[in-house]
């Protein structure tokens, strides 16, 4: 009888252990197993003429993703970056966007530099009612419910720069740009505001992306001797342009150049000595004097190297991830409609200062800065707006319909 009782006890004990283990397995299955990652797509050129400017943006995105993951991720899930090389080819970039959405299952896209690239990807994003964060200053004249624009509109960069140059350098100006939609539209706006203020246009020339032969442009600038040049070149053409200026004996004291796509990264690639004394307009410079920015620069350089520099498009890329992550956390979901609705009301203490998404336009309120290039590869800030500027993708002096009609008539402005 005693042996039988002991046997029953052993059996009951074994059953209890089995139940506990089964229960623990069920708990682990439901809560202990790692949740699948949240995938995001990155669309930037790691090769071709735009790589010098675009490749560093991937590191800025990576820093933001790593910071989110290190802080616990998004609702218990880690973010996984899938990077596609756009090869400096807008059509190819659109193909990669399609793949990232339909095959890789990304929750959102971050990327593009040129407006040609953005417009190509925009078609794909809108077809799928997906989401793109676009980090570049651009020509405006666009809004989309499926794009959040973290770069500047014309009234936050191009127009303040042009008016400051007119006020401080003189009335005679020359325009040089790459032959596609952004430079041609930007220069149309520059001519509008400068000619209305008594400016005098001496010349206007466009070259294909990747152009290295600047002889004709430099010859014309030397002959016309404008009070200043507005430069809307993109990619590695900028290196050839500033080298040609230097070779021709044209320095910043004689003819200052005001650039819309030269930042700290390009200074490092071109060589600071070639660009020193010339100007650029952005919404962020690495030497913005704030605790938030100093901490941002320190974190980036600790992660990617003390010799690395940050610039406006990199900071705008970083901002995009942070805004999206805050929206996902706030909703506890990656549901596209919920995230888009939340994003339209987001604010963020960014390295450049407080930014806020404009509900009506899906662009950011941002401060404007003008900087003078130094030989150490940084910019001395010579002017900044007192407050963040309301984004106006369609400048007020034409209707939206008129702007779109005028832009469509520009050479190089087609799809």
- The verdict on residue 166 lying in a domain is yes
- The verdict on residue 415 lying in a domain is no
Q: Which of 20-34, 100-114, 334-348 has the lowest mean pLDDT?
A: 20-34
Report d(CA 317, CA 330) in Å as an integer.
20
- CATH label of the domain that carries residue 135: 3.40.50.2300
Q: Containing domain of residue 376, as a range?
A: 155-288+371-408
Q: Which residues pair with 109 in a beta bridge?
A: 41, 132
Q: Do 203 and 269 reside in the same domain of the chain?
A: yes
Q: Do 61 and 196 reside in the same domain of the chain?
A: no
- The verdict on residue 160 lying in a domain is yes
- The verdict on residue 24 lying in a domain is yes
- The verdict on residue 249 lying in a domain is yes
Report d(CA 370, CA 354) in Å as an integer.
18
Flag whether pLDDT at 9 surpasses 60: no
**Percent of the chain as helix, strand, coil, to the nearest 5:** 45, 20, 35
Indicate the pLDDT class of residue 253, thresholds 50, 70 and 90.
very high
* pLDDT for res 136: 97
Flag whether pLDDT at 195 surpasses 60: yes
Q: Structure pTM?
A: 0.89
- The verdict on residue 355 lying in a domain is yes
Flag whether pLDDT at 3 surpasses 70: no
What is the DSSP-derived secondary structure letter of residue 390? Answer: P
Flag whether pLDDT at 383 surpasses 90: yes
- The verdict on residue 414 lying in a domain is no
Q: Do 257 and 225 reside in the same domain of the chain?
A: yes
Q: Do 277 and 166 reside in the same domain of the chain?
A: yes
Q: Which residues pair with 159 in a beta bridge?
A: none
Report d(CA 281, CA 369) in Å as an integer.
6
Q: Do 26 and 43 reside in the same domain of the chain?
A: no
* pLDDT for res 15: 56
Q: Do 79 and 93 reside in the same domain of the chain?
A: yes
pLDDT tens for residues 125-134?
999 999 999 9
- The verdict on residue 167 lying in a domain is yes
* pLDDT for res 414: 53
Q: Do 254 and 192 reside in the same domain of the chain?
A: yes
Flag whether pLDDT at 415 surpasses 50: no
* pLDDT for res 182: 95
Number of domains present in the structure of the chain: 3
Phi, psi of 141 (to 5 degrees): 60, 35
Q: Do 296 and 357 reside in the same domain of the chain?
A: yes
Instruction: Please state, as a whole number, how many other Cβ atoms lie within 10 Å of the Cβ of residue 43.
Output: 27
Q: Do 222 and 355 reside in the same domain of the chain?
A: no
Q: Do 106 and 239 reside in the same domain of the chain?
A: no
Q: Do 112 and 95 reside in the same domain of the chain?
A: yes
Report d(CA 296, CA 291) in Å as an integer.
9
Taken in order 241, 243, 249, 252, the sign of the CA dihedral is positive
Tokens of 324: 């999206």
Give every CB contact of residue 383 below 8 A, 6+ residues apart in sequence.
Answer: 160, 164, 369, 370
- First vs last C-alpha separation in the chain: 92
Report d(CA 321, CA 198) in Å as an integer.
43
Flag whether pLDDT at 24 surpasses 90: no
Q: Do 236 and 101 reside in the same domain of the chain?
A: no
């Amino acid at each position: 009888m005693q042996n039988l009782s002991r046997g029953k006890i052993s059996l009951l004990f074994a059953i209890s252990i089995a139940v506990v283990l089964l229960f623990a397995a069920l708990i682990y299955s439901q809560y202990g197993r790692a949740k699948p990652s949240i995938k995001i797509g990155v669309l930037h050129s790691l090769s071709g003429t735009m790589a010098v400017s675009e490749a560093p943006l991937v590191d800025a995105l990576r820093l933001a993703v790593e910071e989110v993951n290190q802080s616990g991720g998004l609702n218990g899930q880690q973010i996984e970056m899938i990077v596609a090389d756009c090869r400096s080819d807008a059509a190819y970039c659109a193909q990669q966007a399609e793949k990232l959405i339909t095959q890789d299952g990304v929750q959102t896209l971050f990327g593009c530099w040129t407006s040609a690239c953005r417009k190509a990807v925009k078609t794909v994003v809108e077809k799928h009612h997906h989401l793109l964060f676009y980090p570049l200053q651009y020509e405006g004249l666009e809004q989309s419910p499926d794009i959040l624009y973290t770069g500047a509109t014309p009234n936050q960069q191009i127009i303040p720069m042009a008016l400051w140059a007119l006020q401080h350098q003189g009335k005679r100006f020359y325009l040089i740009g790459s032959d596609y939609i952004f430079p041609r539209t930007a220069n149309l706006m520059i001519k509008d505001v400068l000619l209305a203020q008594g400016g005098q246009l001496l010349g206007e020339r466009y070259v294909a992306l990747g152009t290295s032969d600047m002889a004709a442009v430099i010859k014309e600038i030397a002959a016309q001797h404008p009070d200043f040049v507005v430069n809307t070149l993109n990619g590695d053409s900028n290196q050839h342009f500033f080298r040609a200026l230097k070779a021709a004996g044209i320095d910043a004291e004689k003819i200052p150049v005001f650039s819309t796509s030269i930042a700290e990264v390009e200074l490092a690639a071109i060589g600071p000595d070639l660009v020193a004394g010339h100007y650029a307009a952005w919404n962020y410079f690495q030497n913005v004097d704030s605790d938030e920015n100093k901490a941002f620069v320190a974190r980036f350089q600790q992660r990617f190297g003390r010799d690395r520099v940050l610039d406006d498009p990199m900071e705008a890329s970083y901002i995009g991830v942070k805004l999206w992550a805050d929206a996902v956390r706030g909703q506890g979901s990656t549901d596209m409609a919920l995230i888009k609705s939340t994003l339209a009301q987001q604010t963020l203490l960014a390295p450049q200062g407080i930014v806020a998404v404009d509900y009506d336009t899906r662009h950011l309120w941002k401060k404007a800065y003008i900087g003078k290039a130094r030989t150490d590869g940084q910019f001395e800030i010579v002017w900044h707006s007192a407050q963040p500027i309301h984004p106006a993708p369609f400048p007020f002096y034409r209707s939206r319909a008129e702007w779109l009609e005028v832009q469509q008539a520009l050479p190089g402005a087609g799809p």
